[in-house]
């Protein structure tokens, strides 16, 4: 493992590694100036975007993980739960580029609405017979 710090390993750091090293240096400088990590990251990203560093990083697509389970997983009444990476002490979100969605089939409502596509889609996964699938087709 090698450090991407420009000061520690200037010969290794080049190209995208250099961009990343500049980004990390910006974060550290903002934190040393007394800013929170979240503010330091935002300021470093603004700096990088304004200076053509880490081009494309801010346009990364979101990563969404969907889990459909046939049992009650969480102690709540809602059938859909969304989670994101969170710093547990300060309760700050790490990124909006990643989320995990859990759908608990046993918690689906008994009566489905034709206007609620999410419920209908999940009910299809929950259907066990051809008759149940045909009922969904009518909606």
Tens of pLDDT, residues 68-89 = 999 999 999 999 999 998 888 9
For helices 37-50 and 15-32, give the axis angle rounded to 10 degrees: 140
Residues 46 and 79 in one domain: no
Range of the domain at 93: 59-138
What is the per-residue pLDDT for 72?
Answer: 96
Q: How much is the pTM?
A: 0.59
Q: Is 96 exposed, middle or buried (0-12, 13-18, 19+ CB in 10 A)?
A: exposed
In a domain, 31, yes or no: yes
Which of 3-7, 35-39, 54-58 is the least confident region?
A: 3-7
- In total, the chain counts a number of residues equal to 139
Residues 34 and 69 in one domain: no
Cα separation, 56 vs 70, in Å, equals 39
On the question of pLDDT at 13 being above 60, the answer is no
What is the per-residue pLDDT for 4?
Answer: 43
135 pLDDT tier (thresholds 50, 70, 90): confident
- Span 88-111, average pLDDT: 89
Residues 84 and 40 in one domain: no
Cα separation, 73 vs 116, in Å, equals 23
The beta-strand segments (E) located in 42-91 are 63-69, 80-83, 86-87
In a domain, 32, yes or no: yes
Residues 69 and 25 in one domain: no
User: How many folded domains does the chain comprise?
Assistant: 2
Residues 85 and 106 in one domain: yes
Residues 111 and 68 in one domain: yes
What is the per-residue pLDDT for 66?
Answer: 94
Q: What are the CA-CA distances from residue 60 to residues 22, 33, 50, 100, 124 (Å)? A: 19, 29, 17, 17, 32
In a domain, 4, yes or no: no
On the question of pLDDT at 3 being above 80, the answer is no
What is the per-residue pLDDT for 96?
Answer: 78
């Amino acid at each position: 493992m090698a450090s991407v710090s420009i000061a520690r390993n200037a010969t290794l750091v080049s190209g995208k590694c250099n961009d990343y090293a500049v980004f990390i240096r910006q974060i550290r400088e903002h934190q040393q100036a007394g800013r929170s990590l979240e503010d330091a990251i935002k300021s470093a990203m603004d700096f990088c975007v304004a200076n053509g560093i880490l081009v494309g990083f801010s346009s990364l697509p979101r990563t969404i993980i969907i889990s459909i389970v046939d049992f009650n997983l969480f102690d709540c009444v809602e059938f859909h739960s969304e989670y994101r990476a969170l710093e547990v002490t300060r309760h700050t979100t790490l990124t909006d580029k990643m989320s995990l969605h859990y759908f608990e089939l046993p918690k689906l409502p008994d009566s489905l609405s034709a206007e609620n596509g999410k419920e209908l889609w999940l009910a299809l996964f929950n259907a066990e017979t051809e008759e149940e699938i045909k009922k969904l087709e009518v909606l």
